[in-house]
């Protein structure tokens, strides 16, 4: 298989897990000779009367296809062992749904709605198609986990990369279609909801325009009809007294005019009704079709989950990335019949028993995961039942047999000696193994090892160890922005929860922190320069802990600002404005200015010109500082009301603490606190009432309570029924709903005939 233009990930054959007391698990590579010698001796033990003809390293090529920028990917085995059914969607409907921005007439709107309807009907009728080579759970999971293993920098010439069966052009097409389908599934619901809202607004706009156009005509006809009816009544009264030819003629002409105007009025009203009913009927039909398609889209997303992985691979959408999954093949023969046994990626068991009187050999390796047996069985079945595949293996074994190559025979013997030193084989086994190797003719290796173009770090010096951290939560989801503090090193994880760094050999102690998670202490030791992988799992904070942490941060921030002010104030009293030129105090001043949201350099320049600026900045105000501290203490109680409090209630509570405040004074203090980032701010509601927001609603459990309420009401919520059922204020309900809308969890459905409704697609019945 040609690897020249590919990015390659080639994990080692075997690993061991190390864990220091109180430290995280570390995944280290097992020396290759140790694992290969174990495989060779195991094969000799399992000959079952057959000859052991060959052993060689084999790699199963698996294409890694990146689906989106968030790191979602799928795996395709290039030998086509698997074939998975999947619904694939095109993205042309998304382009159609964006066309509402250019609508100007009724016909334009109807045309777009009809086009969207046809495409939605096509979606409703979509069926699965088979994707060759697409790997599904549990194999997806195990492949993703093996990606965390230490990697090879070279492929030895004696290793065999199995030739691909699925053509590269097919992979290119599969990649493009899968990415398009994923983009469709990600964008469909937001786009369709936006389209629905825009169509409804456009219908209201067109109806308003059409009604204003016809209403003048209908109003004038109404006046004329009333006037004609009055004239007819007067003429009929006069005829009753004395009928004349002129009166009869006038009466007849008035009746004809009245009949004509009534007919025109009826025609205009029908036209107005037909205009609106056509649009509304088509809108209802489209809405019904959308409700039919939404469960199909939800099912398609669920259907794709077993095939996808959010593994932390730094992979661009257009990268040609191949995972070479390592196996060791052993070939046995008897009377010309070949049998293939396969040793998959394995883990070293340090706690295994040693050899004894009854056991000459103890295999220290176990298969990494039972799920890996699926892939192993695919290979074993192909090797033992596919004539062409078996022929290819036999041919490769002539030049790649580890038992026959001069260099690898030495490697196997060295590995066997390590097994002997660890008490896993008896000396008699080593002697027999060396004797067996001497019976096999020696071949020299032809060719050189191939250096891989991997995604690893750049070249390290000889005394550095490459360390890869994978940081995630308990569900395995990567945590972006997690910080590792190792004292002299401060590292931050990328969007896939991954940190790669080269560290000197040493013992390390550190802490991992991430917003919304419990901090975690850990330690590890780097005794050698071998690559290691350290997975770290963080526990999420509860809602109460998040609120407490946020309040603690606010209070600590206030204390820090006060401390810096106090220190600088003393320095200012002692040294005056010269502290601006003192490096130690200048750095503290810059820190304070940054905390307060100022541009430090610009502020200091102005302060040098205006000496009073420094004094005003550092002047103490015990009353204001005391009120600030009490407001922060009151903030803790606000978590019970969704992180908000009426301004009037805050004034009452401050007075109860002994402060005789005015609304202007407290409003000024709240404004300063908001600038300092100590609270969200003071706002005014539509009815003129002031509202203090201490915490972002995301930090409270209000959204969860709204979700629970929505789940009990078939996914529909109005502000009015939430206020009544939950006993909250209208402002508190609206804060929580607005947050859920901003996160895409809830949708707003405004109506000219009903109250504004918030609805939750995740809770809507699929039968609607």
Q: Which residues of the chain have pLDDT under 50?
A: 454-461, 752-753, 764-768
| CA–CA distance, 488 with 503 (Å, rounded to integer) | 11
Q: Are domains 465-540 and 701-763 of this chain identical in fold? A: no
Contacting residues for 732 by C-beta, under 8 A, at least 6 apart:
641, 642, 644, 702
Task: Judge whether 280 and 203 are in contact, CB under 8 Å.
Answer: yes
What backbone phi and psi angles, to 5 degrees, belong to 361?
-145, 135
Give me the CATH code for the 465-540 domain, please. 2.60.40.1120
Per DSSP, what are the bridge partners of residue 523?
509
Instruction: Return the pLDDT at 697.
Output: 53
Query: In degrees, to the nearest 5, what angle opens at C-alpha 384 toward C-alphas 378 and 389?
Result: 85
- pLDDT recorded at residue 397: 83
pLDDT of 456: 39
Contact at 8 Å (CB) between 345 and 150?
Answer: no
Place of tokens 């071949």: 443
Q: What is the pLDDT of residue 35?
A: 95
Q: What is the pLDDT of residue 535?
A: 87
Burial class (CB in 10 A: 0-12, 13-18, 19+), 763: middle
State how beta strands 346-348 and 14-19 pair.
parallel
**Strand partners of residue 106:** none
CB 210 within 8 A of CB 286: no
How many Å apart are CA 647 and CA 666, to the nearest integer? 9
Which residue in the block uniquely carries the two structure tokens 């002299």?
488
CB 46 within 8 A of CB 340: no
Give the model's pLDDT for residue 534.
87
d(CA 592, CA 572): 14
> Nearest Cα to 296, choosing from 92, 125, 114, 181?
125
Nearest alpha-carbon partner for 14 in 267, 279, 326: 326
3-class DSSP state of 134: strand
Categorise residue 423: left if φ over 0, alpha if ψ from -120 to 50, beta otherwise: left
Which tokens is 109 given?
């709107």
pLDDT number for residue 330:
94
- Class of the CATH-defined domain 701-763: mainly alpha
Domain spans of the chain?
328-450, 465-540, 541-620, 701-763
pLDDT of residue 55: 93
User: Phi first, then psi: what are they for 337, rounded to 5°?
Assistant: -95, 130
**What is the model's pLDDT at position 752?**
47
71 and 310 Cβ atoms separated by less than 8 Å: yes
Strand partners, 255: none
Tell me how far apart the alpha carbons of residues 516 and 558 are, in angstroms, rounded to a whole number.
Answer: 21
Closest CA to 40 of 325, 383, 441, 417: 417
């Amino acid at each position: 298989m040609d690897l020249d233009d590919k990015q390659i990930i080639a994990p080692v054959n075997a690993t061991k897990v190390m864990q220091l007391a109180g430290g995280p698990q570390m995944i280290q590579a097992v020396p290759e000779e140790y694992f290969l010698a174990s495989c060779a001796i195991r094969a000799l033990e399992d000959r079952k009367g057959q000859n052991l003809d060959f052993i060689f390293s084999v790699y199963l090529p698996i294409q890694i296809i990146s689906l989106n920028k968030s790191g979602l990917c799928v795996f395709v085995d290039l030998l086509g062992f698997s074939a998975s059914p999947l619904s694939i969607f095109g993205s042309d409907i998304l382009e159609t749904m964006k066309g509402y921005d250019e609508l100007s007439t009724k016909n334009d709107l109807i045309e777009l709605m009809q086009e969207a309807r046809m495409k939605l009907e096509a979606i409703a009728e979509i069926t699965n198609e088979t994707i060759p080579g697409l790997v599904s759970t549990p194999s997806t999971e195990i492949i993703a986990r093996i990606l965390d293993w230490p990697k090879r920098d070279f492929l030895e010439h004696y290793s065999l990369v199995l030739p691909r069966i699925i053509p590269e052009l097919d992979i290119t097409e599969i990649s493009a279609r899968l990415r398009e389908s994923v983009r469709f599934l990600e964008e469909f619901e937001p786009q369709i909801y936006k389209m629905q809202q825009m169509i409804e607004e456009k219908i209201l706009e067109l109806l308003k325009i059409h009604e204003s156009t016809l209403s003048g005509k209908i109003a004038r006809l109404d006046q004329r009809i009333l006037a004609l009816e009055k004239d007819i009544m007067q003429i009929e009264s006069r005829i009753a007294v004395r009928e004349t030819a002129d009166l009869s003629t006038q009466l007849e002409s008035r009746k004809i005019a009245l009949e004509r105007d009534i007919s025109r009025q009826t025609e205009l009203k029908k036209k107005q009704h037909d205009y609106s009913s056509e649009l509304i009927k088509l809108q209802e039909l489209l809405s019904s079709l959308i409700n039919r398609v939404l469960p199909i889209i939800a099912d398609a997303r669920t259907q794709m989950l077993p095939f996808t992985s959010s593994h932390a691979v730094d992979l661009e959408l257009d990268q040609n990335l191949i995972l070479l999954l390592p196996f060791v093949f052993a070939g046995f023969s008897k009377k010309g019949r070949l049998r293939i046994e396969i040793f998959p990626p394995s883990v070293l068991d340090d706690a295994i028993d040693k050899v004894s009187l009854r056991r000459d050999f103890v295999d220290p390796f176990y298969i990494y995961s039972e799920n890996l047996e699926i892939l192993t069985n695919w290979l074993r079945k192909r090797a033992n039942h596919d004539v062409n595949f078996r022929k290819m293996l036999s041919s490769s074994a002539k030049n790649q047999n580890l038992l026959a190559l001069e260099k690898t025979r030495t490697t196997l013997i060295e590995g066997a000696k390590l097994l002997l030193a660890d008490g896993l084989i008896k000396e008699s086994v080593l002697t027999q193994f060396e004797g067996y190797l001497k019976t096999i003719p020696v071949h020299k290796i032809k060719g050189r090892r191939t250096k891989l173009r991997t995604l690893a770090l750049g070249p390290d010096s000889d005394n550095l160890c490459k360390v890869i951290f994978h940081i995630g939560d308990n569900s395995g989801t990567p945590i972006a922005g997690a910080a590792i503090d190792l004292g002299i090193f401060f590292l931050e994880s990328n969007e896939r929860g991954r940190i790669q760094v080269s560290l000197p050999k040493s013992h390390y102690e550190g802490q991992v922190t991430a917003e919304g998670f419990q901090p975690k202490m850990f330690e590890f030791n780097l005794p050698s320069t071998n690559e290691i992988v350290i997975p770290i799992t963080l526990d999420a904070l509860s809602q109460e802990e998040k609120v407490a942490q946020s309040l603690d941060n606010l209070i600590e921030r206030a204390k820090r600002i006060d401390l810096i002010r106090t220190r600088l104030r003393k320095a200012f009293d002692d040294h005056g404005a010269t502290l601006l030129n003192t490096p130690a105090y200048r750095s503290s001043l810059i820190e304070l200015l940054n905390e307060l949201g100022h541009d430090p350099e610009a502020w200091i320049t102005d302060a040098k010109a205006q000496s009073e600026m420094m004094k005003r900045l550092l002047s103490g105000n015990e009353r204001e500082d005391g009120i600030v501290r009490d407001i922060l203490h009151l903030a803790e109680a606000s978590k019970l009301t969704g992180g908000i409090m009426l301004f009037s209630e805050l004034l009452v509570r401050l007075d109860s603490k002994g402060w005789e405040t005015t609304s202007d004074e407290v409003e000024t203090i709240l404004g300063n606190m908001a600038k300092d980032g100590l609270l969200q701010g003071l706002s005014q509601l539509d009815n003129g009432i002031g509202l203090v927001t201490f915490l972002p609603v995301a930090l409270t459990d209000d959204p969860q309570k709204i979700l629970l309420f929505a789940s009990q009401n078939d996914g529909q919520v109005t502000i009015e029924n939430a206020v009544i059922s939950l006993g909250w204020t209208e402002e508190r309900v609206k804060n929580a709903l607005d947050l859920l809308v901003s996160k895409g969890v809830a949708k707003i459905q405004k109506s000219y005939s009903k109250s504004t409704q918030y609805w939750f697609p995740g809770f809507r019945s699929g039968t609607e």
